[in-house]
Amino acid sequence: MKTMKVSIDNIQSFVSKDEISKFQSEINQHHQSIIDRTGQGKDFLGWFTLPSEITEAHLTDIEQTALSIRSKVNYLVVIGIGGSYLGAKAVVEALKNSFSDFQQSNETKILYAGQNLSEDYLSELLTFLDDKKYAICVISKSGTTTEPAVAFRLLKNHLESKVGKEAAKKLIIAITDKERGALKILAEQENYKTYEVPDDVGGRYSVLTPVGLLPIAVAGFDIRALVQGARDMKDYCLNDTSMDRNPAALYAASRNALLQKGFDIEMLINFSPKLMYFTEWWKQLYGESEGKEQKGIFPAGANFTTDLHSMGQYIQEGRRVIFETLISVEKAQSSILVPEDEQNLDGLNYLAGKHIEYVNEMAEKGTTLAHLDGGVPNIKISIEQIDEYNLGQLIYFFELACAYSGYILGVNPFDQPGVEAYKKNMFALLRKPGHEADSAEIYKRF
């Protein structure tokens, strides 16, 4: 396998090799505690062995469901929030043609709902779907999250009034807990095709379960290659935690060494707009896993060169608390050259005959050096190309590194207690039954 690589050459003027390698023994212990399932959040370590536990029968089942959806509808509305949609969206957006939403084709396209509470968004979505053939994949591990529940109620009504109650049942798939939650009860009652989110896999680690795999397969992508990439990365990291070999160990140690030097904001950088939602997935993974007990590296992101014209100034000259983690893609999938122009009024003939990707590569190199000179350390993660296999590797790599990092910080990387605070207030404000005391208190504040 060609493995993704982590290079720390461009952080060494900020942290020494010793400052990084001092994390080695700690990482060895954390790795063992993940294997033995003894660390914090030990009930949510299913993602660790997941790639090699996915059976042929399971993949075939997901592929067949995907084929059936693809043969029936032009759109699949994925309803979910946080870990229940970001993994699928990250992979689908990375792999799809950037303009497929505007192309006439027989491909089934993925739409998203339940990831916000905007009346305008939902109203526009329903209007768009009025004359479209569509199916729904509703995803909620807990089965009780408000945003997807509201969206599902609306879309279910819409679909039922369009195609009839019985036909709608065959166009709805539910992905939820194996026994708990309102969605499970509804799915059983209505006899929807259902997939389970394994008990020991939390939302943000669930992209390699049906939560991610089904929408990705419906979008027409190769889930076997995705799983294979993750499986290879797992096998590669499993028996060797040394930073020379295990990229997740090297990345986790490096970012924690940088944190100890005051670099407490990490920006995940790409030079391909295809990776924009991969960054969103990564932000959630690291934000929810590390940001607790007043600890954690703040995960941010930027899409270059686009954001060099918005965030570039701050990164270059603002407060020196940012380090960058660059996902560098070695080759583009397409080939297009800068054309020669007789008049050369724009002065671009010096680039004539050069690949656009070559120009992009020089922008990447130039940016890294400029930021380095400005005091911004840069960890570089190189992948060969943006495809299913490489994304599978990256996903597993980031998950494993996130677990190591969370443990190094001393937090439980698999819970998200802080997410409840806004829900509690929202329920109190909405006067949800059972929240009467909180309602009385919260309304005193207005």
Interaction site with ligand PA5 (CB under 6 A): 81-84, 140-142, 145, 148, 202-204, 288, 416
Give the chain's radius of gyration (CA, Å): 23
Which residue's CB is nearer to ligand PA5, number 88 or number 243? Answer: 88
Which position has the token pair 């724009």?
346
Task: Tell the smallest beta-carbon distance from residue 268 to ligand PA5 (Å).
Answer: 17
| Residues with catalytic function | 288, 309, 423
Which residue's CB is nearer to ligand PA5, number 182 or number 238? Answer: 182
Task: Tell the smallest beta-carbon distance from residue 44 to ligand PA5 (Å).
Answer: 9
Main-chain phi, psi angles of 364, to 5 degrees: -60, -50
Q: Which helix (H) or strand (E) holds 183?
A: helix 182-190
Q: How many CB atoms lie within 10 A of CB 382?
A: 15
Which residue's CB is nearer to ligand PA5, number 204 or number 231? Answer: 204
As given in the structure block, the two tokens for residue 147 are 């945003």
As given in the structure block, the two tokens for residue 152 are 């599902």
Task: Tell the smallest beta-carbon distance from residue 1 to ligand PA5 (Å).
Answer: 28
Task: Tell the smallest beta-carbon distance from residue 407 to ligand PA5 (Å).
Answer: 17
Q: 135 - beta bridge partners?
A: 76
As given in the structure block, the two tokens for residue 419 are 């997410």
Which residue's CB is nearer to ligand PA5, number 212 or number 229? Answer: 212
Asked if 136 and 156 touch (Cβ cutoff 8 Å), the reply is yes
Q: Which helix (H) or strand (E) holds 393?
A: helix 388-409
Which residue's CB is nearer to ligand PA5, number 247 or number 301? Answer: 301
Which residue's CB is nearer to ligand PA5, number 148 or number 301? Answer: 148
SS3 call for 207: coil
Task: Tell the smallest beta-carbon distance from residue 377 to ligand PA5 (Å).
Answer: 28
As given in the structure block, the two tokens for residue 266 are 């990490």
Q: Is 54 exposed, middle or buried (0-12, 13-18, 19+ CB in 10 A)?
A: buried
- What is d(CA 104, CA 263) in angstroms, rounded to the nearest whole number? 47
Task: Tell the smallest beta-carbon distance from residue 211 to ligand PA5 (Å).
Answer: 8
Which residues have C-beta within 8 Å of that of residue 283, sequence separation ≥ 6?
268, 299, 300, 301
Identify which of 195, 247, 236 has the alpha carbon closest to the alpha carbon of residue 217.
195
Identify which of 386, 336, 395 has the alpha carbon closest to the alpha carbon of residue 360.
336
